[in-house]
Amino acid sequence: MSDYHNPVTTPRKSATFDDYALSEIRRAAATGIYDIRGGGTKRKLPHLDDLLFLGASISRYPLEGYREKCGTNVVLGSRFARKPIELKIPVTIAGMSFGSLSAQAKEALGRGASAMGTSTTTGDGGMTPEERGHSSILVYQYLPSRYGMNPDDLRKADAIEVVVGQGAKPGGGGMLLGQKISKRVAGMRCLPEGIDQRSACRHPDWTGPDDLEIKIEELREITDWEKPIYVKVGAARPYYDTALAVKSGADVIVLDGMQGGTAATQEVFIEHVGIPLLSAIRPAVQALQDLGMHRKVQLIVSGGIRNGADVAKCLALGADAVSIGTAALVALGDNDPAREAQYQALGTTAGAYDDWHEGRDPAGITTQDPALAARLDPELAGRRLANYLAVMTLEAQTIARACGKSHVHNLEPEDLVALTVEAAAMARVPLAGTDWIPGRGNY
């Protein structure tokens, strides 16, 4: 008898049918409905992390970190608006609605942004007095649903953002489930309380760039040409969308990459429609340059911005400012491990919680439940956001000084290299250690 046993191979799971794919098949089979969630894409994508700054060297002088000034202000709307707005920092707060967010969360966003001299943005559902009151600079979104849209609020706004699409779901509308359609939310949207509320994907009274030009003119007429008018698009065809937005008369273009979040949409939409921010910025900037409008029509980019390095990279690629949504919510307290037990009770874990549409957010941010919403202290959360915005700005300045720039807008593509071939091609900067930009030159 031999002690020998035939060796057993280690059980091997499929890379294609991984645990998540299997669980989603089972969930779909059990429920017959696609998965809906909040947030942005969770898959690994070519990203700003794939870029590096070169910094100063013999050929370039750096600026002294704590001594020499590095400007961060941004003027938006200088093309046509009689009253352009000026932000002290190049980081804005993206559009998020009262309805998807609690009133406390909206107040906190306003407090934090105002403390740092930057803007917040309404969302699908209109403007609340609290939001206007706590936001020194407020951008009023003009969405296909026109929920809560009225000329009084339009005139109270500091800028108007015509939303064509967003990065999480270019070409998609919205859905706010009945759990979050409270009496107040329903009243603002002229809908029955508690029903699932759909937001249209197309504007009801214009189609295409020629109509958009007339629509923008109408908004200017109503507001006597005072307000900067933004056009927000989800990153899909950034060159052409940017060119058409310029043609339509936009003062500012907001370009949202697929890492940008949403209050709720289909998982398949979030993960499979649109392109990453990294791949979208240069085509948009190219369109502005081709039209002679770079820096005349401002470009705000968003989608996965987390820190000052991301900010600096976007600006170096040609953007005028960035916008944050998900990161701002995290700064307020979203997905905090301190609430791990509460996330576990919802069948998830801190850092992965994305059922924002269900209105059961333990942090009191993506909810209309009064008891949950009361957990968020708007002053404290606003302070956290202000701190975070300050850090992002300081980080961007640190990098800009290291590159010898006296203003963050002086950062340029020549300050960057890429770590991967994909990033080099998308950002149109050389692969690190080479002078090779894939798709450019004679290679």
Partner 1 sequence: MTTRIVDLAASSVRELNQALHTDKGHMHWQVLNPAGRHSIAAGLDAPATVEIDGHVGYYCAGMNKHASVIVRGNAGVGLAENMMSGRVHVTGDASQAAGATAHGGLLLVDGNASARCGISMKGVDIVVKGSIGHMSAFMAQAGTLTVLGDAGESLGDSIYEAKLFVRGSVASLGADCVEKDMRDEHKALLFGKLTAAGLAGAVDVGDFRRYGSARTLYHFHVDNVGAY
Binding site for partner 1 (CB under 8 A): 31-33, 145-146, 149-151, 154, 175, 177-178, 189-192, 195-196, 198, 200, 204-206, 211, 214-215, 217-218, 221-225
Is residue 100 a contact partner of residue 131, using CB atoms and an 8 Å limit? no
Q: How far is the CB of 249 from partner 1 (least distance, A)?
A: 12
Closer residue to partner 1 (CB): 355 or 415: 355
Q: Residue 316 corresponds to which tokens in the numbers above?
A: 């170096």
Closer residue to partner 1 (CB): 134 or 220: 220
Closer residue to partner 1 (CB): 126 or 318: 126
Q: How far is the CB of 251 from partner 1 (least distance, A)?
A: 17
The span from the CA of 91 to the CA of 119, in Å, is 8
**Helices and strands in the chain, H and E counts:** 15, 16
Q: How far is the CB of 216 from partner 1 (least distance, A)?
A: 10
Q: Residue 289 corresponds to which tokens in the numbers above?
A: 């340059």
Closer residue to partner 1 (CB): 146 or 295: 146
Q: How far is the CB of 184 from partner 1 (least distance, A)?
A: 16
Q: Count CB neighbours of 300 within 10 A.
A: 27
Closer residue to partner 1 (CB): 176 or 392: 176
SS3 call for 199: strand
Is residue 405 a contact partner of residue 306, using CB atoms and an 8 Å limit? no
Q: How far is the CB of 191 from partner 1 (least distance, A)?
A: 6
Phi, psi torsion values for 335, nearest 5 degrees = 60, 30
The span from the CA of 399 to the CA of 52, in Å, is 10
Q: How far is the CB of 32 from partner 1 (least distance, A)?
A: 4
Closest CA to 233 of 176, 282, 277: 277
Q: Count CB neighbours of 54 within 10 A.
A: 15
Closer residue to partner 1 (CB): 89 or 244: 244
Closer residue to partner 1 (CB): 56 or 177: 177
Closest CA to 307 of 327, 335, 325: 327
Range 141-164 burial, b when 16+ CB lie within 10 A, else e: bbbbbbbbbeeebbeebbbbbbbb
Phi, psi torsion values for 299, nearest 5 degrees = -115, 120
What does the angle CA 111 – CA 411 – CA 323 come to, to the nearest 5 degrees?
30
Q: How far is the CB of 100 from partner 1 (least distance, A)?
A: 17
The span from the CA of 388 to the CA of 396, in Å, is 12
Closer residue to partner 1 (CB): 205 or 414: 205
Closest CA to 317 of 245, 238, 393, 247: 238
Q: How far is the CB of 219 from partner 1 (least distance, A)?
A: 9
Q: How far is the CB of 205 from partner 1 (least distance, A)?
A: 4
Closer residue to partner 1 (CB): 210 or 379: 210
Q: Residue 286 corresponds to which tokens in the numbers above?
A: 């190219």
Closer residue to partner 1 (CB): 206 or 230: 206
Q: How far is the CB of 325 from partner 1 (least distance, A)?
A: 25
Q: Look up tokens 């993960």; give the residue.
A: 271
**Maximum Cα–Cα distance for the chain, whole Å?**
97
